[in-house]
Amino acid sequence: MSVEEKRIHLLLKSVIYHYHGLDEAERKDLDQISTELDAKEELTWALDFVAQDYITAFDRAREFLNNIIGDYPKEKRVSLIAMVWQSNNVKGYVTEMEATAMLKLAKDWNVEKELVELVLS
């Protein structure tokens, strides 16, 4: 996985997790995945991105991600949305705010149908 892909992966998770405030389970998940991906620097980058301004973090991340992910193949876009959905389910719940954020990204990336199918399965 390239540095860009690691950043995207960790920023996507970070911004969704911070949408309502990062809890301990989410923090552990971010630490674990950054270890698995050998991406500690990329996690620091993602957390710094969010910390620059928590209020605008999602909108800034959305713009950043849309500029990169728009060129990704559909399978990769679906995979990224599915990864975030599954990460949220690991903690046992998905908040309405997190679901709304994922739906916005899925719409931007033209994979709304696939996200809805994933949710319903």
The pLDDT tens digits of the residues spanning 42-87 come to 999 999 999 999 899 999 999 999 999 888 999 999 999 898 888 8
Tokens of 45: 């980058």
| pLDDT greater than 80 at residue 34 | yes
Instruction: Report the b/e string of 78-102 with b at 16+ CB within 10 A.
Output: bebbbebbebbeeeeebeeebbebb
CA distance 121 to 119: 6
**Domains contained in the chain, number:** 1
For all residues of the chain together, what is the average pLDDT? 90
Q: Which domain holds residue 109?
A: 3-120
Looking at residue 97, its pLDDT comes to: 83
Residue 120 has pLDDT above 90, yes or no: no
Region 109-119: mean pLDDT is: 91
Phi and psi at residue 87, in whole multiples of 5°?
A: -60, -40
Residue 90 pLDDT exceeds 90: no
- Go through the chain and tell me how many residues it has: 121
